[in-house]
């Protein structure tokens, strides 16, 4: 996009309470109990490897959704806990990142978003600059490659929640229409419409901001 990226790092420790880095509790179990304990340990290790690989992406997505560092960390912790609990249902070889974002998006919509609405107007933590990866080759996004990351983040944060969510999932995290439709429990046509509206509104806000800076400079 022509601007230096500032990577987003999830700095909170992944604690035992959310399922990672905990003791296996086998304590010398033998026979079938020992095999079960070994299998649980192997599954937990596999989960931890996959989760750590995508933890920063999940935190970056949570920041976009919540626009608050504290809320993003809470959302990530809850997502990790839910994912750990449901990992037995994850199919080996499937898209783990999409699976985690599915959990996180639905946690946000069902629990975090209603609470955020109740606290509307409360002061939020300032979201750090997270940068964007290269944008997809969409003519609607052509001008965004020359926009400063800070301006892009500010404009994105001002979008309505559902538009902001679909833009984040598509243009920042790189998910397909099908994956986003599954995460948001919406038809693909609705995803396409919201993505188009979100991108158009984003460009409009950025252009308005650029004009404002030009006339006040």
Q: What is the pLDDT of residue 213?
A: 56
pLDDT recorded at residue 74: 93
Look-up of token digits 């809320």: 71
Residues written for the chain: 217
SS3 of residue 24 by DSSP: coil
In the chain, where does the domain assigned CATH 1.10.1740.10 lie?
7-130
Domain with CATH 1.10.10.10 in the chain: 132-217
Burial category of 42 from C-beta neighbours within 10 Å (exposed 0-12, middle 13-18, buried 19 and up): exposed
The class of domain 7-130 in CATH terms is mainly alpha
pLDDT for the residue 211: 61
Q: How far apart are CA 140 and CA 39, in angstroms?
A: 49
Res 177: pLDDT:
94
Q: Which CATH number fits domain 132-217: 1.10.3720.10, 3.40.50.150, 1.10.10.10, 2.10.210.10?
A: 1.10.10.10
Q: Which pLDDT belongs to residue 109?
A: 83
The two three-digit tokens of residue 176, written as one number:
């397909």
Query: Block means of pLDDT (10 residues each) for the chain, length 217 residues?
Result: 42 46 45 78 91 94 89 94 92 92 90 59 44 50 58 83 91 92 93 93 80 54
Rounded to whole angstroms, the Cα distance separating 209 from 56 reads 29
Q: What is d(CA 98, CA 30) in angstroms, rounded to the nearest whole number?
A: 37
Can you give the pLDDT at residue 78? 95
pLDDT score, position 180 = 95
Give the pLDDT score at 158: 87
Predicted TM-score (pTM) of this structure? 0.65
Which of left, alpha, beta for 148 (phi over 0: left; psi -120 to 50: alpha)?
Answer: beta
* Sequential DSSP letters for 103-167: HHHHHIIIIIHHHHHHTTTS--PPPPP----PPPS-GGGGGGGGS-HHHHHHHHHTS-HHHHHHH
Q: Give the burial class of 80: count Cβ atoms within 10 A of its Cβ; 0-12 exposed, 13-18 middle, 19 or more buried.
A: buried
Q: Give the pLDDT of residue 144.
A: 54
């Amino acid at each position: 996009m022509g601007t230096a990226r500032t990577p987003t790092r999830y700095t909170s420790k992944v604690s035992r309470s959310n399922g990672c880095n905990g003791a296996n509790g086998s304590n010398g179990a033998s026979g079938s109990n020992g095999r079960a304990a070994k299998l649980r340990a192997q599954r937990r290790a596999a989960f931890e490897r996959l989760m750590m690989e995508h933890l920063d992406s999940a935190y970056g997505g949570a920041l976009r959704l919540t626009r608050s560092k504290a809320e993003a960390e809470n959302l990530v912790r809850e997502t990790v806990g839910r994912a750990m609990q449901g990992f037995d249902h994850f199919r080996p070889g499937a898209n783990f990142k999409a699976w985690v974002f599915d959990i996180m998006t639905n946690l946000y919509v069902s629990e975090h978003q209603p609470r955020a609405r109740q606290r509307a107007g409360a002061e939020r933590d300032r979201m750090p600059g997270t940068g964007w990866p290269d944008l997809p080759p969409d003519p609607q996004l052509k001008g965004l490659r020359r926009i400063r990351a800070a301006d892009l983040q500010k404009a994105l944060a001002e979008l309505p929640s559902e538009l902001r969510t679909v833009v984040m999932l598509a243009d920042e995290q790189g998910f397909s229409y099908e994956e986003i439709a599954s995460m948001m429990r919406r038809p693909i046509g609705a995803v396409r419409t919201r993505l188009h509206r979100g991108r158009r509104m984003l460009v409009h806000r950025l252009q308005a901001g650029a004009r404002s800076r030009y006339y006040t400079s």
